[in-house]
Amino acid sequence: MCQENNTIKKLEFEQLTLENRILIEHLYNKQKKNYSEIGKELGKHRSTISREIQRGLVTLLNSDLSERVEYSSVVGQKKKDKKGRNKGPDLKIGKDRQLSEYIEEKIRSKFSPEVICEEIKHKEQFETKISFKTIYNYIEMGVLLVEKADLTYGSYRKKTNERKRDSISRLKLKKGRTINDRPKEVEEREELGHWEMDLVEGTKKSGGKVLLVLSERSSRKEKIVLLPDKSQNSVISAIDKIERQLGVKNFRETFKTITTDNGSEFLNYEGIERSYTGSKIPRTKQYYANAYSSWQRGTNENINKMIRRFLPKGLSFKDVTKNRVKEIEDWINNYPRKMFNFKSSTEIYKEMKMEKALSC
């Protein structure tokens, strides 16, 4: 009995052969056996079988043009061979299966390689320490079972050679409201209360739900509101609601300035600045970025990319709920940021508010 257990234990750490993969293909596709059952037949750990099947999955067409997903021993072997050619003799991650699975799981949970490396430094169970650049290399090489699209910014590329159109700026009627007129302290990002505002859309279908996104420039704290459409009235109603929740005085202190693009949904600056109470004292001050200058709202642009990890471009927001939007907002606000020494925006925001309170 002991000899049998030792044999199985030894087999678990042997690499899969092409014959093993052909058997896996039969057991998984034809006999519909699960990872544990297949592992038992091959004398392998279920994690080994799981990783192999995920590596060799392919999508095939049925006769009725419907799709099915199956494991291919040929694809699995090709990826194994490619991995063997690329990884070289001294991969840092070596045979540390626990570490590789930890990294893969974190990437699928939308953590960046920088954040993952910082967490690994503080975990005693991992003897191997690697850099975030190494993780990027492993993804390129196919060593880790994740794709570049799984990375927070992995599937987004900057557009090049954009066709610039000559147009009459809408800001000619907004004297004193361009980004050039904005207070200098806003650019320095040392004071809380200066926000950028944008819309994130689903499909381009008219009348669909959109997200109103407010990004605080210093702490990168995010406020996301689900709107029924992208009209000016919906934008103003959402800001009115936030003001009611915070209170008039607190809103003025929280939202000192708001910078937007020149979209038609933001052109009613009077409605955006006017308090829902009808007070003559403006609740905020709105400024407009220059046309074709998205970099002037860089905080918005970067955080919008994080939102797209949950709600990709082209996805209809028809079934998106307020609870789902709140989950995304909380994830972004609690995400460890490299720029803040791996503290979250929520932590930075609280610290800055505390510092302000102590200085008063």
- The string of pLDDT tens digits covering residues 192-209 is 999 999 999 988 665 689
- The count of C-alpha atoms lying within 13 angstroms of the C-alpha of 181, restricted to the half-sphere facing its C-beta, is 12
Q: What is the CATH number of the domain that holds 196?
A: 3.30.420.10
Q: 215 near 303, Cβ under 8 Å?
A: yes
Boundary-marking domain end, from 154, 182, 208: 154
Q: What is the pTM of this model?
A: 0.61
Q: Which two tokens stand for residue 325?
A: 């939007």
DSSP string, 293-359: -GGGGHHHHHHHHHHHHHS-TT---TT--HHHHHHHHHHHHTS-BGGGTTB-HHHHHHHHHHHHHHH
Whether residue 122 sits in one domain with residue 229: no
Q: Tell me the C-alpha distance between 295 and 302, whole Å.
A: 10
In the chain, where do the E strands start and end? 57-61, 67-71, 194-201, 210-216, 222-227, 257-260, 285-288
pLDDT (tens digit per residue) in 5-46 = 444 444 444 678 888 998 999 999 989 999 999 999 998 888
What tens digit of pLDDT does each residue of 241-281 get? 999 999 999 999 999 999 999 888 999 999 999 999 999 99
Same domain for 38 and 181, yes or no, is no
Shared domain for 78 and 98, answered yes or no, is: no
Rounded to an integer, the average pLDDT of 327-355 is 95
Give the pLDDT band (50/70/90) at residue 359. Answer: confident
Residue ending a domain, among 30, 65, 84, is 84
**Residue 124 sits in the same domain as residue 12:** no
Whose structure tokens read 């291919």?
A: 72
Is the same domain home to 65 and 198?
no
Residue reference for tokens 């893969």:
104
The boundaries of the domain holding residue 18 are 1-84
Is 257 in the same domain as 190?
A: yes
User: Is 58 inside a domain boundary?
Assistant: yes
Number of domains in the chain: 3
286 & 210 share domain? yes
Does residue 73 sit in the same domain as residue 116?
no
Same domain for 75 and 15: yes
Beta bridge partners of 216: 195
Name the band, by pLDDT with cuts 50, 70 and 90, for residue 169.
very low
Quote the CA–CA distance of 197 and 265 in Å, as a whole number: 11
pLDDT tens digit sequence for 129-165: 888 888 888 887 767 777 777 776 654 334 444 333 3
**Where is the domain boundary, 97, 127, 154?**
154
Q: What is the mean pLDDT of residues 295-324?
A: 91
